[in-house]
Amino acid sequence: MTDVSRRQLLVGAAGLAAVGGLAAACGSSSSSAPSTGSTGAAGAPKRGGSFRLGVTGGGSKDIMDGQNIITKPDQARLMTAFETLLLFDENYQLTTNGLAESVTQDNPKQYTIKLRPGIEFQNGKTMTADDVIYSFQRIGTKKFGLTGYAATATMDIAGMKKLDKYTVQLPLKSPDSTIPQTLGSYTFNIVPTGYQAYPHPQVGTGAYKLKSFAPGQQSVHERNPNYWRSGQPYFDTVTIIDFSDSTAQVNGLLGGQIDAMTDLPPSQVKVVQARGMGALVSKTGGWLPICMAIDIPPFDDVRVRQAMRLIVDRPQMLQQVASGYGFVGNDLYAPFDPGYDKALPQRHQDITQAKSLLKAAGHANLSVDLHTTNGAAGMVETATVFANQASAAGVKINVINDPNFYGNQYLKLAFSVDFWGTRAYLNQVQQGSLPTSPYNETHWPPKSGTGSNFESLYNQALAETDSTKRIAIMHEMQQAEYNVGGYIIPFFGGLIDGYGAKVKGLKPSKGTLNLDSFGHGFRTIWFG
């Protein structure tokens, strides 16, 4: 597996519990039947046409699996044919507009999932509780290596029970209030009993059926005439085309060979708009942290960490690295989480203070290596801009762009730039800020002093069913990270996608996936 794809997996994992309202609202089946055929300024949706999407980041490693992704085109493919129990809307609020009518927390260690009756898979088989149990078992089987596996740690999958044809009981091994987010994350799709990855038949509940697939080149998807949301989808076919380079993507969009593209370069936004086409700018929770390992010199001294955090000019970083598409960060992650602590004062650049902190720590002429790689757009730029800003404080930062960054040294480095996707706070903690986390760059939490109780606070938060009390615990955790943590989070980036003039129905989304979660699985968009 390449370095890049490891990170892509990581971003994929971000979908495991992407940011959103915490569980509380979800227990009550708050929503009416899902609305279809949304109208608006764009006019009423129209049927017909072949939609062609250009996606970068794919290659011969492309796969099609209803519960797994490796590359970015895989994300788009997944969205054509497979659906989740709960659904995030474009504001990243969890809704019951998915395959489940309701997901209820019976007690801290048990959930009950009630399916929407009568939904059929693409082969005509009705979706039932058995399929849900099979889907969870498949994700929870470690050797399959599916994206969602890590999120099944708290689930007692072997103990899942079918209560009736459309009702499933999900017991937990330990309390986990993030289960609803997990059920809404895009790799937690429901597949029919016996399902296997391509080249086996790809059968989901989604709006399009797989017609052909050539990894590294393209896949073609046909309209599912029996789709359960009446009226949808609108296109006859969807074709997902791999691009190796964004120049060709932009040209293809301008020349009319594709109808939409992922990851429009910021410099091309005006070009595309000038031609009457659209640039969909979505403010997501993706971030590129500068990571300081809190147990490796010189960053084992909290004064050095604070000095580094005071060196960053966050608005300038946002402008130079992301062309201003995004919003300034405050060294804390998960900004869309209701538990995000907005009360903590925004950090600003303060070179004088940084200098005096460094002097007090005995590092007045600090010189340090900052490791990174061309893993995600902006990583190297973040390192370079930071090195520039640091020189104002007399700190010499030597940026090392290492193609093998994710090789042996990763997670052992004192100072590095990494990247993460959108997640809810507690899910992010589980992934990156605990001794047991798979990708803990900063070696948080500390063994003593402020923050040493971080892990026990995390466990308390997972077990707490009262959302007000849980948020109070999360605030306490964030205060520790804000005061003595190892992350510098200069800004949260955005996604910019391009689309042709006749594509209607796209809305900016806070989700992890491009193009408004690929037009909600290519079913909420149409040709006007």
Partner 1 sequence: MSRFRPSGVWGFILRRLLLGVVVLILVSILVFLATQALPSDPALAILGRSATPASLAALRRQLHLDRSVIDQYWTWVTGLLHGNLGTSLAAQEPVTTLLSPKLVNSAVLVAVAAVVSIPLSIAIGAWAALKRDKAFDRTSSNLLLALAALPEFVVALVLVIVFATTVFHVLPAISTVPPGSRPWNNWVALVLPTITLVIAVAPYVARIMRASMIEVLESDYVEMARLKGLPERTVLVRHALPNALGPVFQVIALNLAYLAGGIIIIEFVFNYSGIGGAITEAVVNHDLPVVQALAILIAAVYVILNLLADVATILVTPKLRTQL
Site for partner 1, rule CB under 8 A: 1-4, 6, 54, 59-61, 212, 214-218, 241, 243-245, 247-249, 251-252, 254-258, 404, 406-408, 410
* Residues 114, 167 contacting (CB under 8 angstroms): yes
Per the listing, tokens 């047991």 go with 436
CB 370 within 8 A of CB 499: no
Least distance in Å: CB of 6 to partner 1? 6
Cis geometry, peptide bond prior to residue 265 (ω within 30 degrees of 0): no
60 vs 452 by CB, closer to partner 1? 60
H or E stretch including 246? helix 246-254
| Minimum distance from residue 59 beta carbon to partner 1 (Å) | 5
Instruction: Pick the closer one to partner 1 by CB: 182 or 187.
Output: 187
Q: Nearest approach, Cβ of 214 to partner 1 (angstroms)?
A: 3
Of the candidates 318, 512, 364, 336, the one whose C-alpha atom is nearest the C-alpha of residue 425 is: 336
Contacting residues for 506 by C-beta, under 8 A, at least 6 apart: 278, 280, 499, 515, 516, 519, 525
Least separation, in Å, of the C-beta of 520 and partner 1?
A: 26
DSSP string across 61-126: T---BTTB-SSHHHHHHHHHH--BSSEE-TTS-EES-SSEEEEEEEETTEEEEEEPTT-B-TTSPB
Q: How far is the CB of 213 from partner 1 (least distance, A)?
A: 9
Whichever of 231 and 256 has its CB closer to partner 1, that residue is 256
Considering only CA atoms, which of 270, 355, 344 is closest in space to residue 306?
355
At residue 472, φ and ψ (nearest 5 deg) are: -60, -40
Name the 3-class secondary structure at 148: coil
Continuous segment of H or E residues that includes residue 217? none
Classify residue 386 as exposed, middle or buried by CB count within 10 Å of its CB (0-12, 13-18, 19+): buried
Q: Which is nearer to partner 1, 375 or 494 (CB)?
A: 375
Shortest distance (Å) from residue 252 CB to partner 1: 4
Residue 75 near residue 12, CB atoms below 8 Å: yes
Cβ of residue 143: shortest distance to partner 1, in angstroms?
11
Give the nearer residue to partner 1 in terms of CB position, either 271 or 281: 271
Q: Which two tokens stand for residue 458?
A: 């995390």
Cβ proximity to partner 1: between 258 and 489 the closer is 258
77 near 519, Cβ under 8 Å? no
Q: Given the complex with partner 1, which of 152 and 218 has the nearer CB atom?
A: 218
Min CB(204)–partner 1 separation in Å: 22
Residue closer to partner 1 by CB (options 35, 408) is 408
Whichever of 167 and 218 has its CB closer to partner 1, that residue is: 218
Shortest reach from residue 253's CB to partner 1, in Å: 8
